Amino acid sequence: MDIKIISDNLKSDIIGRKIMYKEETDSTNNDAKRCMDYPDGSTFIAERQTAGKGRRGRIWEAEKGSEILMTVLLKPPLPPEKISAVTAIVGIAVCRAVRKSGINAEIKWPNDIICRGKKLCGILCEMSVTGIELNYVAAGIGINANTESFLGELSDKATSLRIEKGEPVNREKLTAEVLSEFDKCYAKFLKNGFSAFKEKYEKLCATIGKEVKVVGKETYCANAVGINEDGELLIEFEGKISALNSGEVSVRGIYGYV
Ligand code: BTN
Q: Which of 132, 140, 111, 135 lies closest to 32, judged by CA? A: 140
> What pLDDT, in 10s, does the model give residues 40-94?
999 999 999 999 999 888 899 888 889 999 999 999 999 988 888 999 999 999 9
Q: What is the pLDDT of residue 23?
A: 96
Q: Are 68 and 39 in contact (CB under 8 A)?
A: no
HSE-up of 103 (CA within 13 Å, CB side)? 32
**Residues with Cβ < 8 Å from 240, sequence gap 6 or more?**
none
Q: Distance between CA 230 and CA 195 in Å, rounded?
A: 8
Give the percent of the chain with pLDDT over 70.
Answer: 98
In angstroms, the Cα distances linking 31 to 26, 64, 69, 95, 133 are 8, 18, 12, 24, 21
CA distance 68 to 144: 7
Ligand 1 pocket, residues with Cβ under 6 angstroms: 27-29, 49, 52-55, 58, 60, 69-71, 112, 122-124, 140-142
pTM over 0.85: yes
Q: With a cut of 50, list the residues of the chain below it in pLDDT.
A: none
Q: Are 243 and 230 in contact (CB under 8 A)?
A: yes
Amino acid present at 135: N
What local confidence, expressed as pLDDT, does residue 53 receive? 96
pLDDT of residue 56: 83
DSSP letters of 183-233? HHHHHHHHHH-GGGTHHHHHHHBSSTTSEEEEESSSEEEEEEEEE-TTSPE
d(Cα 208, Cα 220) in Å, to the nearest integer? 16
Distances in Å between the alpha carbon of 15 and those of 73, 147, 210? 9, 26, 33
Using alpha carbons, select from 33, 34, 63, 38 the residue that is nearest to residue 49.
63
pLDDT at 223: 93
Ligand 1 centre and the CA of 93: distance in Å?
16
Give the pLDDT of residue 54. 93
Query: To test ligand 1's pocket by mutation, which of 22, 53, 157 has the most ligand atoms within 8 angstroms of CB?
Result: 53
Q: Which amino acid is at 59?
A: I
CA of 49 to the centre of ligand 1 (A): 10
Q: Distance between CA 29 and CA 201 in Å, rounded?
A: 25
Could you give the CA distance from residue 32 to residue 136 in angstroms, rounded to a whole number? 9
Nearest ligand 1 atom to the CA of 112 is: 2
Tell me the helix, strand and coil percentages in the chain, rounded to 5.
30, 35, 35
CA gap 257, 45 in Å, rounded: 28
Atom of ligand 1 nearest to the CA of 52: 14
